[in-house]
Amino acid sequence: MSNKITIKRRKKRDRSTEKQRVEIDDKLRERVVLCVVNGYTVEKIAALMGIAVKSLKKYCAHELNNGREIFVDMATGALAKQIKMGSERSTQFALKSKGGWIDKNDDHNDPITININSNGDGKIK
């Protein structure tokens, strides 16, 4: 009597056709938001990210639906950070856009008078 054991070997998988796993992290979500703000379609975003449309809709629904609001929040946070670091340009921008501040040099409604004198020879004095 022989105790023979037969072991079946697994067939090797063709890994070239397998889908690659993509990690849905904060960086990818930020990229999705930027694509939404730039007007990309869901299909285009999925292709750029290398994931299926169904997966994108499932895991990044919030970013797809609220991309513009998220972008404004990101930009506002970045502006606040620049202001805290002492950026004069950022402070001026915030004051002009949200604070109603008007720089006197920016008032372009005043008429400008230019006097040009010529003696007829084509040369300006």
Predicted confidence (pLDDT) per residue in 28-67, tens digit: 889 999 999 999 999 999 999 888 899 899 889 999 999 8
E strands in 5-123:
none
Closest CA to 41 of 19, 70, 67, 20: 67
Domain assignments of the chain as residue spans, ordered by start: 22-101
Query: What integer is the mean pLDDT of 2-16?
Result: 52
Predicted confidence (pLDDT) per residue in 55-106, tens digit: 899 889 999 999 889 888 888 999 999 999 998 898 888 888 877 777 766 5
- Predicted local confidence at residue 99, as pLDDT: 75
pTM beyond cutoff 0.95: no
- Both structure tokens of 112: 């400008």
Please state, as a whole number, how many other Cβ atoms lie within 10 Å of the Cβ of residue 40. 16
